[in-house]
Amino acid sequence: MPRYAHIIGWGKSVPPNILTNADLAKKVDTTDEWIRERTGIQQRHIASSKETTALLALHAARDAVEVADVNPQDIDLVIVATATPEYPFPATACLVQNALGAERAGAFDLEAGCSGFVYALATATALIRSEMYNTVLVVGAETLSRILDWSDRATCVLFGDGAGAVLLRGSDQPGGVLSTILGSDGSGGELLMVPGGGSKHPAGPDTVLSKQHFVKMNGREVYRFATRVMAQASRQAVDKAGWQLEQIDLFLPHQANVRIIDSAAKSLKIPPDKVFVNLERYGNTSAASIPIALCEALDAGKIKTGNNLVMVGFGAGLTWASCAIKWTAAQPGAPAPQRAAASRLRYIWSGIKSFGFQLSRHIDAAVSKTLDVIERKPSDE
């Protein structure tokens, strides 16, 4: 019996602080008109120093778990797609797993630039279909604002912060993620990169002074690449699912630039009312853009049970990824107050437990250090 991977929960989290084009025009040599005309972006959300990638990811993940009405203990795996992790290591996914109380789950981060969410969704789907795991949490979370050069008008106007998450579960019921396409062309890696901070140019005073920890991009080339792969990858996912393009009910593209989206939709002959766009309010939130768009499309009532969805992303790598989804979830009702209270208690309890584990680790270390000293004493004398 074939297994299918269904999305059963979803959630998003964006920091409340908004930076408009007009605000940006006060910082760099740009105008609201230029940004709107060239990209479609009007504003973006920017995280405060306390709103880190893991925190945004956790809030989106909690909402997804809530919608699915699943106990975090039932989650088998947490994947966080991000290019702006909390630390080089441990993985942001481990922080989310711990804070969520997903005690049985494995956890890892996945880095595929702005294609990261669809890459992670494809990975989760394959693991569910192979029956290795049954319940997998996939998060796309970014704080791109941390790695932007705020004096570079060609990049700083494009990006924003946020997170989106979905919970997938295996079932024999046909539907869910029906096809996935993953692609990479590493020959274009230097077109969009953060050169510093890795093994090639480890962080040091010189890398900081030469701004190597910031996003560097050849916008024109990335634009050309994006307009080529978006339509191509979408077509491949649709073919692989056994659909025709006319059967797409909603197209959910990576939200980088409205001109790129329009060009892909035109090439696929998808009418504007079937294309979801929210980049005017968020800018490009990288791996978070597609799950945030999914949540907003659901909130806007644009997705109904039985609909055919296509998601497609592109980004650093260069990478691209697409998938075709037969939507099977029903809109959840408002959670019962008792359920919300129970979840809150569960999170508090898992926080206490996690703190307890840390404390016992410290006590263990202190005790064994003391014992070492005592045992060594006679020979030292």
Instruction: Kindly list the residues in this chain that would bind ligand COA in the complex (CB under 6 A).
Output: 30, 34-35, 38-39, 114, 153-154, 157, 192, 217, 219-220, 222-223, 226, 256-257, 284, 314-315
Closest CB to ligand COA among residues 35, 288: 35
Q: What is the CA angle 276-282-283, rounded to 5?
A: 90
Q: Which of 45, 94, 98, 114 is catalytic?
A: 114
Closest CB to ligand COA among residues 285, 343: 285
- CA 364/CA 370 separation, integer angstroms: 10
SS (H, E, C) 313-365: EEECCCEEEEEEEECCCCCCCCCCHHHHHHHHHHHHHHHHHHHHHHHHHHHHH
Name 320's bridge partners.
183, 314
Closest CB to ligand COA among residues 229, 298: 229
Q: Which of 21, 98, 284, 308 is catalytic?
A: 284
Task: Tell the smallest beta-carbon distance from residue 182 to ligand COA (Å).
Answer: 16
Q: Which of 45, 156, 254, 308 is catalytic?
A: 254
CA nearest to 14, candidates 303, 301, 289, 302: 289
Task: Tell the smallest beta-carbon distance from residue 4 to ligand COA (Å).
Answer: 30
Closest CB to ligand COA among residues 5, 217: 217
Name 325's bridge partners.
177, 309
- CA 98/CA 110 separation, integer angstroms: 18
Give me the amino acid identity at 155: T
- CA 237/CA 64 separation, integer angstroms: 25
Closest CB to ligand COA among residues 154, 245: 154
- Which DSSP state fits 39? H
Classify burial at 175, counting beta carbons within 10 Å of its beta carbon; exposed 0-12, middle 13-18, buried 19 or more.
middle
Task: Tell the smallest beta-carbon distance from residue 30 to ligand COA (Å).
Answer: 3
To which H or E segment does residue 207 belong? helix 205-209
Kindly provide the residue ranges of all beta strands, DSSP E only, lying in the chain, ordered along the sequence: 4-13, 18-20, 43-45, 77-81, 106-110, 135-143, 161-171, 176-184, 192-193, 216-217, 250-253, 308-315, 319-326
DSSP string, 90-135: S-HHHHHHHHHT-TT-EEEEE-BTBTHHHHHHHHHHHHHHTTS-SE
Which residue in the shown chain puts its C-beta closest to ligand COA?
Answer: 219
Task: Tell the smallest beta-carbon distance from residue 313 to ligand COA (Å).
Answer: 8
Closest CB to ligand COA among residues 85, 170: 85
Closest CB to ligand COA among residues 158, 323: 158
Task: Tell the smallest beta-carbon distance from residue 253 to ligand COA (Å).
Answer: 11
Please give the structure tokens belonging to residue 82. 């991000």
Give whole-number Cα distances, 222 to 71, 160, 191, 249, in Å.
41, 18, 7, 28
Q: Give catalytic status of residue 284 as yes or no.
A: yes
Q: Give catalytic status of residue 134 as yes or no.
A: no
User: How do beta strands 176-184 and 43-45 pair?
Assistant: unpaired
Task: Tell the smallest beta-carbon distance from residue 284 to ligand COA (Å).
Answer: 6
Task: Tell the smallest beta-carbon distance from residue 87 to ligand COA (Å).
Answer: 23
Q: Give catalytic status of residue 59 as yes or no.
A: no
Q: Are 68 and 8 in contact (CB under 8 A)?
A: yes
Task: Tell the smallest beta-carbon distance from residue 361 to ligand COA (Å).
Answer: 40
Closest CB to ligand COA among residues 104, 220: 220
**Residues annotated catalytic, as ranges:** 114, 254, 284
